[in-house]
Amino acid sequence: MCCACQRPATQSAEAPFPYQEADIAGLQARMAAGELDSVTLTDAYLRRIAELDRSGPTLRAVTELNPAARREAAQRDAERRAGHVRGPLHGMPVLLKDNIAATPMHNTAGSLALKGFRPGRDAFLVQRLRQAGAVILGKTNLSEWANFRSTRASSGWSAVGGQTRNPYALERNPCGSSAGSAVAVAANFAVVAIGTETDGSITCPAAINGIVGLKPTVGLVSRDGIIPISFSQDTAGPMTRSVADAALLLGAIAGRDEADPATAAMPGRAVYDYSARLRTDALRGARIGLLRSPLSERPEIGPVLAQAVAALRAAGAIVVETELPTEGQWEQDELTVLLHEFKAGLPRHLQQWQAPVTTLAGLIAFNREHAAQEMPFFGQELFEQAEAAGELNDPAYISARNNARRLAGPEGIDAALRADQLDALIAPTTGVAWRTTHGEGDDYPGGSYGAAAVAGYPSLSVPMGHADGLPLGLLFMGTAWSEPRLLELGYAYEQLTRARKPPTFASGKP
């Protein structure tokens, strides 16, 4: 985006936002000193959303505000005055992706079929957030059905929320499916946000919008109350402006839940005080594998990646080139797994939560009946393929699931880590943001997060730099339950580079 096409938002021109780029620790320090309270902070974010999301650059990141947000903030302030502070998230406004149940708001997955659906209770992770003292500010837009409706979908578009826009260049795409959560954090609409990922839906929008995104190990964060795609790969995770905030947010939402059997696999000490592990010297002596990737050869990415690797080495890391021995071999199996698990899991969830539509066939019929609103740009071929798929006892599904996990995990990431005795793998998260088009699908540059997604392993995207003013991310990947080490390495890298630059809002004109 050329400098002549940049135009600051009205609010920025008249008065800087007082909490621009504020982090949890800084805000808590101001609250402890009596200089700030949660109601004031919540009101400030609500005004900013009104001025920049609903008007001005019209980012369309937020689909619904919590009508009880100010009341929740006032309750947290009263607790603080009484000497009761629940923890580092006390009084912090948080936004949630609109596929996570949180009363009294709707939970739509971006679909008009669920527009009137108000779940009767909170998702488990929302219960955890409220127990930690967070204020639920509202819901964020997403690629409809978490981008599992059509192969020709435009990331960040839903019938409920419209098209979320990239705050660095309004005609560019924000990536998805957690588009609204990423844009909201980048644009300073909340302290932090929660996204969900099946394959790239946290890490890609985090990179594209210049923020931190952590996809945890499947089973570290409960999926109870989250509209599903795949029980093998789905997880929620933090989307923040700093690694330190991601560590604090992960500590609040992680934990065992009887409603999600995947959390039973969690090692006894998998939930840490992640913040206690953050050290600026964590890269000294670390062994890091730089994955060979076509992304690294792109002229807009290669020089930025070279600077990142130089920074890692200057901090004492040993960086060696490596590769995943099974790269790409799981892709067809992954689609088979997703189609079968979506067919089985979505109706079960809709029925348990008493949604207005409870079958995949019913959703397909709804979209056909409301095609002008639901399918103006692309169809629902993934829905139709899932409806035609077999059941979970289908040998094709069982074989695909076993193959995909093995090829991406033990024979992929684990094999690469073991071969060179590595602490983590790194690669460009994805390319730069592409121009948003409708009906043609995304001009997707590719991503490095697929192996971790399919294996159910963690991945962390941290701002790496910019190309022509558009953010790039560096992805850290490790084996299962390696979040403490990835956060440690990502934090040290972040402190070295300070690569995040907040957006000035573009005019949207080429």
pLDDT at residue 14 greater than cutoff 80: no
Cα–Cα nearest to 23, from 500, 509, 488, 401: 500
Task: Tell me the residue length of the chain.
Answer: 510
Report DSSP letters for 329-349, one per residue.
TTHHHHHHHHHHHHHHHHHHH
Q: Return the pLDDT at 97.
A: 99
Residue with tokens 């419209």: 162
* Integer Cα distance of 135 and 42 in angstroms: 8
- HEC string of 37-62? CHHHHHHHHHHHHHHHHCCCCCCCCE
Active site residue 177: yes
Res 419: pLDDT: 97
Catalytic option among 38, 201, 275, 296: 201
Tell which wins on pLDDT, 11 or 461.
461
Query: Distance between CA atoms of 140 and 179, rounded to whole angstroms?
Result: 8
Residue 6 pLDDT level (bands cut at 50, 70, 90): very low
What is the tens place of the pLDDT at every residue in 386-417? 999 999 999 999 999 999 999 999 999 999 99
**Catalytic: which of 177, 293, 448, 461?**
177
Contact 207, 187 (CB under 8 A): no
Q: How far apart are CA 231 and CA 253, in angstroms?
A: 18
- Say if residue 499's pLDDT is above 90: yes
Looking at 50-64, 103-117, 264-278, which range is the least confident one? 264-278
Strands of 84-147, DSSP E:
93-97, 135-140
Helix (H), strand (E), coil (C) string for 393-433: CCHHHHHHHHHHHHHHHHHHHHHHHHHCCCCEEEEECECCC
Alpha helices in 103-257 (DSSP H): 124-131, 144-147, 179-186, 203-208, 243-253
Domains for the chain: give ranges and CATH numbers: 24-497 (3.90.1300.10)
Q: Per DSSP, which regions of 216-269 are E strands?
A: 235-240
Angle (CA) 96 38 221, round 5° = 30
pLDDT class for 5, splitting at 50, 70, 90? very low
Contact indicator for 146, 227 with CB cutoff of 8 Å: yes
- Residue 158: active-site member: no
Residue 453 to residue 459: CA distance in whole angstroms: 8
Rounded CA separation 187/276 (Å)? 28
User: Which DSSP symbol is given to 136?
Assistant: E
Summarised one tens digit per residue, pLDDT across range 410-447 is: 999 999 999 999 999 999 999 999 999 998 889 999 99
Q: Is 275 a catalytic residue?
A: no
| Catalytic choice (38, 97, 143, 154) | 97
Beta bridge partners of 428: 474
Report d(CA 362, CA 356) in Å as an integer. 10
Q: What pLDDT, on the 0 to 100 scale, is given for residue 271? A: 62
* Average pLDDT value for residue range 289-301: 96
CA distance 197 to 177: 8
Residue 66: count other Cβ atoms within 10 Å of its Cβ.
23
In the chain, % helix, strand, coil (3-state, to 5) comes to: 40, 15, 45
497 close to 308: Cβ distance less than 8 angstroms:
yes
Instruction: Report angle CA 483, 177, 465 to the nearest 5 degrees.
Output: 60
Q: What does the mean pLDDT of the chain come to?
A: 95
Q: Is the pLDDT of residue 454 over 90?
A: yes
Backbone angles phi, psi at 9, to 5 degrees: -65, 155
